[in-house]
Amino acid sequence: MGQLRSYFRAPGSCRPCQAGTPCARYGATASCAGCPAPASSKAMRPVSHTLINSIRAPIERVFALLTDPARIAQWLPGCDGVQSDVPLRKGVRFKARFGGRQTEFEVVDFSPPTTFGWVERGERKGWKTFFRLDASAGATAVTIRDVWTPQGFGAWVRGRFLDKRRVQSQLKAMLDNLGKLLAS
């Protein structure tokens, strides 16, 4: 009877649950109540890591160091060099070398002297790194947040259990490097 019924259903009605209402999975604009949303609409949840520390330097100096392309390689772990033809601002893309790998970043947040952020457009596409600076009594509280949205379940498993990057230690190294550079 199930097969016979499918031949007589209304155009656009739901095949899996046999509801008479139009379903997004089969041409209508919304899913019926009996069906789960299509797999393509189920985005993976972002995975984020955050580290906060205080650096004994004025907020303007910290922001200047973070956003100077000539100095990024001094505080970004594993970075051998950065190339940017223009000063950094929102929308600017710059290239960075990590050993034999070169990647491109796009600045997606730039509000002097409090926020700076980029998204990677290279191999690790989709990784976002954000810096938030807050002035406090002769020091600057620096919050670094690394956000990654897996492109699928397999990527999530690899990122969760085969994490080569050791994100927390990378964030700590960034803060340590910034502190050392600003102390000198």
Closest by CA to 177, choosing from 78, 58, 104, is 78
CA dist., res. 179 & res. 57, Å (int): 8
E-assigned strands of 32-75? Answer: 47-55
Shared domain for 104 and 37, answered yes or no, is no
Q: Is the pLDDT of residue 121 over 60?
A: yes
Burial class (CB within 10 angstroms; exposed 0-12, middle 13-18, buried 19+) of 12: middle
Summarize pLDDT for 88-111 with one digit per residue, the tens. Answer: 999 999 999 999 999 999 999 999
Q: Which domain holds residue 178?
A: 44-183
Shared domain for 37 and 67, answered yes or no, is no
Whole-number Cα distances in Å, 51 to 48, 107, 132, 143: 10, 20, 11, 6
Residue with tokens 């594993």: 78
CATH number at residue 129: 3.30.530.20
Which pLDDT band holds residue 52 (cuts at 50, 70, 90)?
very high
**Is this model's pTM higher than 0.85 or not?**
no
* Per-residue pLDDT at 5: 40
Shared domain for 38 and 99, answered yes or no, is no
Domain ends where: 42, 57, 75?
A: 42
Q: Tell me how many domains the chain contains.
A: 2
Shared domain for 123 and 172, answered yes or no, is yes
Shared domain for 52 and 135, answered yes or no, is yes
